Amino acid sequence: MPTVDDKLTASPRVGELMRSAAVRQLPDGLWFAEIPCLPQVWAVAESKRKVLRSLNSSLRLYLRINGYISHIAANGSSASKKKDDSLQFFLEPVFLLPLCVLTLVLLFCAVKIYL
């Protein structure tokens, strides 16, 4: 049975967004790819094939995270329904958004150090 994640990441929208990807080779030989309408989704790799594969993974992760945030916003926090489940806090939008931003900042720093 398909999950919500499967429906989000297998949608025709993923293919449409991947077809709109901008790919270019950087002066140092690495490849950079991004989805122009989603500036948060980008990738850097040693080859064009690897950068497209990484971009696809980044796009699917981005859609999955946004799907969770939308689901929680629409249906309310499940943490309020299950007070004994302490891990539910990590699905709260107030926690997920800063975590996503922190992850992107750390990824950006790692790429800067690598380059």
Domains and CATH numbers, the chain: 4-114 (3.30.160.250)
Q: Does the pLDDT value for residue 55 go beyond 90? A: yes
- For residue range 73-108, list pLDDT tens digits in order: 677 655 445 544 555 555 556 556 676 777 877 777
Q: Does the pLDDT value for residue 7 go beyond 60? A: no
> What per-residue confidence (pLDDT) applies to 84?
46
Between 90 and 109, the higher pLDDT residue: 109
**Distance of alpha carbon 36 from alpha carbon 42, whole angstroms:** 9
- Contact 45/30 with Cβ under 8 angstroms? yes
Between 111 and 90, the higher pLDDT residue: 111
- Contact 68/91 with Cβ under 8 angstroms? yes
- For residue range 16-43, list pLDDT tens digits in order: 889 999 999 999 999 999 999 888 889 9
